[in-house]
Structure formats: structure tokens, C-alpha cells
Structure 1
Amino acid sequence: MKRIIPALTMTVMTVFSTPLLAEGISASPTQSATDDAIAGKVEAALLFSGQFDTMDIRTDVSKGQVILTGKVNSEVNRELAQEVAASLDGVVSVENKLDVVKPALLEGDLVTLLHGVRDAQMVSLIRTQLLLESGLSGDDIDVHALRGIVTLTGKVESLTERDLIIAIAKNTDDVVDVKSELSVDS
């Protein structure tokens, strides 16, 4: 027992003093956690701004200093990314290494892309409205869109519920037409 206590004491002292000795070598766990939180805030702010494809931007943070690398589609977005990052709490400085890359899309590809984005926005809006509408079983309804034409499929409990779902879809921005494949449970 007399040998165990000194050995245990030495082990505990070694474990707790190692971070103090290595302080100059690496960031403390608290600093690392703070840097991770800052990186998360920067990435979230860039995502929610709606101006960036955040899959193309990498965010590294060390002691509050943010380094942005990757690519954006314009000089304006390059500067905006820096401003967004610099405006957040905890950011000491921003080093902007973003490259401006013009996408090489053909006109037809761009039109197809824009239709796809618009269709995805419509589907998202309709699904959200269905989930927020009290008395609807909106999670049982599938919503698809192609070039502004929305198709609704699934089962509803009544004709009234079906009509309400169709009306919600028709009243959503950019919807050209609604095709209902909704069936009423008996």
C-alpha cells in the first residue's frame, strides 16, 4: 500500500502537469474548443447567408484567426465571405485565401440548374406549410416538382384535407400547376 500511493501520486501529477509543460507546443483544450466553435459559427453564417456553396469553402481557425480557403464565384462573394467571418464574436482576424472561379456553364445547363433550384425551393416551402398547418397529416404526403409542376402523392383522411393540401400547393410562389395523386382513406 505504501508503494501504491506514491506511484499513484506521481501518475496524477504527470497527467495534470503535462498540459502545462506543453503549453507552448499546442493550443489548450479550451482554445481548441473555442476555435472549433468559431469555425462552426463562420460556416453557419456563410451557409445561412445564402450566397455561398459552403461545400467549396474551408474554414480553419487558430487562436481566433480565421483562414478561408476554397473557391467562390465572384469577387463580391470573396469580400462578403471575409466580412461575414470578421463580423462574428471571437474572430480576431480573417485571412482570405478564397479563389474566384467563374463557373463554366452552358446556357442550357444554367436554365436547368435554375429550374432545379426553384423546384427544390417550392417543395421545401410546401412541405413546411403542410407540417405547420394544424390538423393535417403533412408528413404522410410526398411532394415533387418539375419545372413548376407540383405532384402530390399519399393518403389523406378526408376530401377536405385533400382540398386544403392542394390549395396550399397552388398558393405557393412559382407553382405553375398541381397534380394531385392523393387518395382518401375510407
Structure 2
Amino acid sequence: MKTDAQLHQDVSAELEWEPAVHAAAIGVEVNDGIVTLSGHLRSHAEKLAAERAAERVAGVRGVVVQLEVRPGEAIGDEALAQAAHAALQWQANLPAGAIKVRVEKGWITLSGEVEWGYQRALAERTVSHLRGVTGLHNYLTVQSRMTPPDVARRIEAALCRHAQREARHIDVRVEHGVVTLSGQVDSLAERDATVGAAWSAPGVVNVIDELRVNGAPAAHR
């Protein structure tokens, strides 16, 4: 098991390695395997890249993001809203006209209803990398529909195919289209992959993440 000093060195090195991140602007602190990132960045996309870089490091049990976005160029909310709307409309895998966009001081709020869980995540990714975005609220909901009776088995099969359930430490429960994941995974990347697999199942309207990363507190995302 890595010490906090080793994790600090590895996370700092990974931030330096990530080309989308200005590592010199980010402060790194580690306490009992929990990494805290602080500082000021130029874009929301850079903030996301920094978070993902820290999560990739083996031994990291959690990431606390205290990064503030300060765009280098001034982009008005109206222009940003138009850009976000256009980006969503041009995304072939999203239902046309189903997603509403609101922008306030660079913060984008998405609302409306989509057909699949993956579309909810795709919409967020589509607008999060636009210039001028300082933050994002994703209030999209997934259409309620009939959940296959074997959806839990389907999710477990997908996790096995993706090599995310080798030790069978993940429990999958489904009730009225809501999937609850519990158990232990080895890394934050494995946790994200497991949640993503659950969202991809038919009939899933929400995923409750109670997974633990090597004994870290559950995420409840």
C-alpha cells in the first residue's frame, strides 16, 4: 500500500503528464489516500481532466476537488447558451429538442428527459468542454419504462465481460428501474466503469453508487 507521500508524488507526476492540464496551477494534498486538488484553472474541461488524472493513480481512494474555474476569455451567457444548444443539436446520439439549456455566470444547467442513461452522460460531456463554461448542473432524467426482469443479471454479465467483477465483490440490486451498487472495488476508475455499465442497461432510470474503493467511504453518487 502506498504512503501519502508516494501518492502525492504519483499524483503530481500524473498531472504533469496530462497534456490538458496546467499542473503548476494545481495544489495537491493527500491524507489517508484521499487526494485534494486546489487552485485556479482556465476551463471546466481542464478541471475535469485534472480530476480524471488524479483518479487514474493506483492507490488513490478518493478525490476532493477544490478547483475554481476562471476563464481567460470573457464569453457572455447568451453566446454560451447558443453554443451549448447547437452542440447538443449536432450530437447524433441525443434526441433532438429534448434537452433544455440554461446558463448563469458560466454555469450550465441541463434539464429535460432522455431515453437512456448513457445519453445523460453524453449530454454532460458534450457541453462541459465548451469555452467559457465554469461549472455544470445535470438535471436530466431518464424516461421511466418497463425494466426487464433479468436486468440485474444483465448488468452482472456486463461487469464480468468488462473484467470489473473478478473478485465478485460487487452486489447489484434493482428495484423499479433504480440500480443500487454496493461492495468494494480496487480503484476509482473501476468504480466509474461499474457505474457506467449499470447506466447502460435497459430500463435503468437511476444508479445509486454505494461502492467503496479499498475501504474508502461510499460515494453515494
**Does TM, scored on the shorter chain, surpass 0.5?**
no
Instruction: State the structure with bigger RCO (CA 8 A, min sep 6), 1 or 2.
Output: 2
Between structures 1 and 2, the one with greater strand share = 2
Provide the TM-score with structure 1 as the length reference.
0.37
Between structures 1 and 2, the one with greater helix share = 1
